[in-house]
Amino acid sequence: MRASELRALNITEIQHKLDGSYQELFNLRFQWASGQLADHNRMIVIKHEIARMKTVLRERELAALAQGAAK
């Protein structure tokens, strides 16, 4: 998912997707440890998606703080 698509979502939707991504990463790590993981690149993709989601959430947090300080 692209950052521009994430910015179109609200905070609860992003948080829900973030939780799902953490769960998927956990499952992939478990498969990797047991030797059942076929696509190792999927772990990298999920980590990048998690980073994008956390970045968008942090941008919104900083924007809210800036608005609060401006008042």
pLDDT digits (tens, 9 = 90+) for 8-36: 999 999 999 999 999 999 999 999 999 99
For residue 55, the model assigns a pLDDT of 96
Class of domain 3-70: mainly alpha
The dihedral region occupied by 35, where left means phi > 0, alpha psi between -120 and 50, and beta the remainder, is left
The dihedral region occupied by 37, where left means phi > 0, alpha psi between -120 and 50, and beta the remainder, is beta
C-beta neighbour count of 13 within 10 angstroms: 11
* Residue 1 banded pLDDT, cuts 50, 70, 90: confident
Cα torsion through 7, 20, 11, 13, rounded to 10: 80
Q: Which two tokens stand for residue 1?
A: 């998912």
Model-level pTM?
A: 0.88
For residue 42, the model assigns a pLDDT of 96
Q: What is the mean pLDDT of residues 28-50?
A: 95
- Where in the chain are the domains? 3-70
